[in-house]
Amino acid sequence: MEWGGAQIYFFQLMKEVRKEHEVIAVMPEGSNPQLLKVLDELKVGYEMVGSHFDTGPAFSLSRKIQRHLSKLRSEFDFYCFLIKRISTQTVFHVDFGPWQCFLFLWFLSGKAPVFVTVHNPVTGHQWWRDWLWKIKFRVLGKRKNLRFFASNEDAKNFLAKYLPKKAFSRVEVTYSGVDLEEISSITEANFEHFYELFGIPRDRFLVFCVGQFIDRKGRWEFLEAAEKLLSGNPVEDKGLFFVWLSNSELSEEDRRRIEQFKVGENFKLISAKSIGDRRNYLGLLTLADLFVLPSRVEGLPMAILEAMALGKAVVSTKINAIPEAIKHAETGLLVEPKNSDQLAEAIKTLKDNESLRRKLGANAKRFVFGRFDSKQIARIALRAYEEAFLVR
């Protein structure tokens, strides 16, 4: 219902597939209006289902039961909605996790070809849950009409642990790619007025981060590194200014905790509401001198790929699929997760060394343009869809 890597991934597939086939997006009522705006721009039709999964926190047993029932009801509503629209040429590509939505995928794949993309390995669960997931994946993996994609090599390695060999042999990597035409149009435009529009100082070294302002994205490590750099050597590092672009709203608790960091007026959080559309977001990103994403758990974030495509030097963490894009000291710098000292040192290194910063940014741009072209990636999915027509 909100912006995220999965939504951008599907937009990229739709943009290419609609050139040869009819594409319809099926979404929950209440989805972010910006998502609908993008679909309109892509000229992709959409239909709404009056149901969605309650993803709110569940601390009590009754709340957990309530949330589980909400999930089952949502799956049932989507299933009933979708099966009424099946023809001999229908293929579904759904954003339902196999570990959560076993029944939905089982029944829907009995009616038509279904594709599922796994974006992130899910770790840290109990042994019995892992055992249960293996059963689910092995059963689903034997469904003739169900096929898996992985949106990065790390996710593919995760699937190797769970899928039967025959099903795994058909898994292809379909990265969340970058729309190179869109990036080129951004680099050719002038966004100088954004400094005043968004209250960003022109004469500072701008360190940007993009993502939900949540623990998983390393928000406190980002602020800890900022505090260390701003207070550790105020004469040398007084030019630093930190910006976080977020699609999530701050809670009062978040605001209070931010105030505990000694960053003063040198940190600014810009919300998606004030940014507006995607072009404004990318335009803002062109102002950055350095891009940082200190995630604790991650797939391969679009924000990193887009920053690299814009020629920005990037610092991120050595986790999951991030090293598939950031080759340390070649296309960016990698630090350990939850390590604000290393993060601060990497930021300082690139601030002080302009030639290294420019070199990493140029290498990053070439790497993304050569490997993460969304058009080429979408063709992999399109070929798989068309193969599914033939084997029905």
Q: Residue 192: which pLDDT band, with cuts at 50, 70 and 90?
A: very high
SS3 157: helix
- Cβ pair 292, 316 in contact under 8 A: yes
For 157-165, what is the mean pLDDT? 94
SS3 169: coil
Say which residue, 276 or 315, is predicted with more confidence: 315
Integer Cα distance of 180 and 367 in angstroms: 12
For 58-67, what is the mean pLDDT? 84
Residue located via tokens 């590194």:
225
How high is the pLDDT of residue 237?
54
Whether 53 has a pLDDT exceeding 90, the answer reads no
SS3 222: helix
Tokens of 81: 């909605």
How high is the pLDDT of residue 116?
97
Whether 61 has a pLDDT exceeding 90, the answer reads no
Integer Cα distance of 16 and 57 in angstroms: 36
pLDDT tens readout for residues 16-35: 999 999 999 999 998 888 88
- Cβ pair 69, 110 in contact under 8 A: no
Mean pLDDT of the residues in the chain: 92
- Cβ pair 373, 177 in contact under 8 A: yes
Whether 54 has a pLDDT exceeding 80, the answer reads no
For 290-301, what is the mean pLDDT? 94
Say which residue, 130 or 335, is predicted with more confidence: 335
Domains of the chain: residue spans and CATH? 5-177+374-391 (3.40.50.2000), 180-371 (3.40.50.2000)
Q: Residue 392: which pLDDT band, with cuts at 50, 70 and 90?
A: low
How high is the pLDDT of residue 33?
86
Whether 123 has a pLDDT exceeding 80, the answer reads no
Q: Residue 233: which pLDDT band, with cuts at 50, 70 and 90?
A: low
Q: Residue 373: which pLDDT band, with cuts at 50, 70 and 90?
A: very high
Provide, rounded to the nearest whole percent, the portion of the chain with pLDDT above 90: 76
Whether 244 has a pLDDT exceeding 70, the answer reads yes
- Cβ pair 204, 229 in contact under 8 A: no
Integer Cα distance of 132 and 151 in angstroms: 23
How high is the pLDDT of residue 235?
45
How high is the pLDDT of residue 338?
96
Say which residue, 91 or 298, is predicted with more confidence: 91
**Which residues have a Cβ under 8 Å from the Cβ of 78 and sit 6 or more positions away?**
26, 49, 51, 104
Provide, rounded to the nearest whole percent, the portion of the chain with pLDDT above 70: 96
**Which residues have a Cβ under 8 Å from the Cβ of 66 and sit 6 or more positions away?**
54, 58
Strand ranges inside the chain, DSSP E: 24-28, 45-49, 92-94, 114-118, 146-150, 172-173, 205-210, 240-246, 267-271, 290-293, 314-317, 333-335
Residue located via tokens 């209006």:
33
